[in-house]
Amino acid sequence: MRNIFLFIRRYFHFLLFLVLQILSLTFLFRYNRFHEAVFQDVAGEITGKLNSRYSSVEEYFSLKKTNQELAKQNTELIRQLKLNFEGPDSTGKVIKDTVVIDSVKTPRRYDYYDAKVISDNVSSAGNIIMIHRGTAQGVEEGMGVIGPSGVVGTVVNAGRNYSDVMSVLHKFHKISSMLKKTGETGMVRWDGVDPQYITLEGIPKSAPITKGDSVVTSYVAGAFPPGIMVGTIHDIVENKASNFYTLRLKTATNFFNLHYVMLIKDFERAERKQLADSTRKKVPDE
């Protein structure tokens, strides 16, 4: 308290000047319409700039929440795509215990779960991505994983709350893909050199190919629905000793900037696996 009184005593004349100046300006702006209008215009402009700066700062600190909301919205939109619903190829009546559209009653083939990327690696030959979603949230090994732009990889290990995804940029990852324009299929893998490019092999030379053509997942891609972007043709390597092209693709997914992904649940995967296991028992390999 003593310091406050000492401060007022020392700067009394200056403080008195400020008080009188504020009073005079108040009378000037309040009882003179011209000066009042000018003051309101200037004050409004200053306030607008301050609010704009504050809004920009607030938006910056809320980016994390915004990204999470966008990821959930994208997941919900993808879940409604027609390709996720597929009825059996039969004219008979089939009763199927699964999720359906209320009106059309078509069995759901695929469902999607969003997940946050915890760690991502592009510098080794065996790149693994960790995501913050596990068995407690519906994750199963073998699920396909996609990003906002295309294929990311496949779940290889699922913990309770976290899971590991074998990236497309893994030396052992392979995925059946096709030319979007004509439908010829081949196998995509990574050569371990440049994280921005992957290789598509097995496309016959009879197929019309141009740089920039899109390559998508095929109808036998396993963990992925058909039509998911894999990449675009960047280079065409023609081997005269072979009847097939080797195509260098620019990856659809930017693995250097991957924050959110979606996991694909295939409701018919367990049935296919059970059938394949049963067939192997009945028809053993020679």
Which is nearest to 138 in space by CA: 160, 121, 120? 160
Nearby residues of 186 by Cβ (< 8 Å), 6 or more positions away: 176, 177, 178, 200, 201, 202, 203, 244, 247
Nearest Cα to Cα of residue 153 among 179, 134, 127, 135: 127
Q: Is the pLDDT of residue 49 over 90?
A: no
Q: Does pLDDT of 101 surpass 60?
A: no
Q: What pLDDT sits at residue 90? A: 40
Map tokens 């913050």 to a residue.
132
Is 188 in a helix, a strand, or coil? strand
CA–CA separation, 119 vs 111, rounded Å? 24
The pLDDT value recorded for residue 154 is: 95
User: What is the Cα–Cα distance from 228 to 221, expressed in whole angstroms?
Assistant: 10
At 45, is the pLDDT very low, low, confident or very high (cuts 50, 70, 90)? low
Mean pLDDT of 160-188: 93
Q: How many CA atoms lie within 13 A of 23 on its CB side?
A: 6
Distances (CA, A) of 246 to 30, 107, 205, 230: 80, 38, 10, 15
Residues 140, 265: contact at Cβ < 8 Å? Answer: yes
Whether the pTM exceeds 0.85: the reply is no
pLDDT at residue 174, rounded to an integer: 93
**How far is residue 139's CA from residue 62's CA, in Å, rounded to a whole number?**
28
pLDDT band at 110 (very low <50, low <70, confident <90, very high): confident
Q: Which of 196, 174, 195, 194 is nearest to 186 (CA)?
A: 174
